[in-house]
């Protein structure tokens, strides 16, 4: 039997999945950092994003290296290369994505262990300090995503 993945490997898989689903570059960069920190292979989707970004921000740097005295790199160049606008809250989006995944996992764990749906929702509302509407929206979004990912014949 193959060994179970380590918590670090699971976290890396989660971040690569978040990047795949949301295209949030913060997820890719955090995955890259954690892979290097824990001496794990960088997921291909993450490596491709890092390469894409590096190539994009290197364009003015190559021009400068080649002697173009007018070449410069600006913060706008960097945010454009990241694929986001100035003031985008990428870290917050990453945190909310992880919270949503946690809520879905906790809900599934409660339901499969025999807890009534209303009791599971109540526990999630209390545990995450969210309204019933907020928890329902997270679960509904997860159901829709699951249904989109499930082929129909």
How far is it, in rounded angstroms, from Cα 4 to Cα 43? Answer: 18
pLDDT the model gives residue 81: 87
Nearest to 124 by CA among 138, 113, 114, 112: 138
- Residue burial 12-51, b: 16+ Cβ < 10 Å; e: rest: beebbbbbeeeebbbbbbbbbebbeeeeeebbeebbebee
How far is it, in rounded angstroms, from Cα 60 to Cα 63? Answer: 5
pLDDT the model gives residue 75: 85
DSSP category for residue 87: T
| Domain spans of the chain, in order of start | 1-88, 89-148
pLDDT the model gives residue 149: 58
N- to C-terminal Cα separation, the chain: 33
pLDDT the model gives residue 153: 45
pLDDT the model gives residue 150: 52
Vertex 84: Cα angle to 82 and 89 (nearest 5): 110
Of all residues in the chain, what percent are helix, strand and coil, respectively (each to 5)? Answer: 75, 0, 25
- In tens digits, the chain (153 residues) has pLDDT values of 788 888 899 999 999 999 998 899 999 999 999 999 999 999 999 999 999 999 999 999 999 999 999 989 888 888 888 887 777 788 888 999 889 888 999 999 999 999 999 999 999 999 999 999 999 999 988 888 777 655 444
For 101-104, the CB contacts below 8 A with 24+ separation are 101/14, 102/128, 103/128, 103/130, 103/135, 103/138, 103/139, 104/138, 104/139, 104/142
């Amino acid at each position: 039997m193959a060994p179970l993945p380590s918590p670090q490997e699971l976290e890396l898989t989660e971040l690569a999945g978040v990047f795949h689903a949301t295209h949030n570059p913060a997820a890719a960069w955090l995955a890259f950092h954690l892979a290097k920190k824990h001496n794990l292979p960088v997921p291909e989707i993450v490596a491709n994003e890092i390469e894409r970004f590096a190539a994009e921000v290197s364009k003015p740097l190559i021009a400068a290296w080649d002697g173009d005295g007018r070449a410069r790199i600006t913060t706008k160049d960097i945010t454009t290369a990241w694929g986001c606008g100035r003031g985008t809250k990428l870290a917050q989006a990453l945190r909310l994505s992880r919270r949503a995944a946690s809520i879905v996992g906790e809900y599934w764990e409660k339901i499969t262990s025999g807890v009534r749906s209303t009791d599971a929702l109540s526990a999630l509302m209390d545990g995450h300090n969210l309204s019933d509407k907020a928890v329902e929206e997270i679960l509904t979004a997860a159901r829709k995503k699951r249904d989109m990912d499930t082929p129909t014949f």
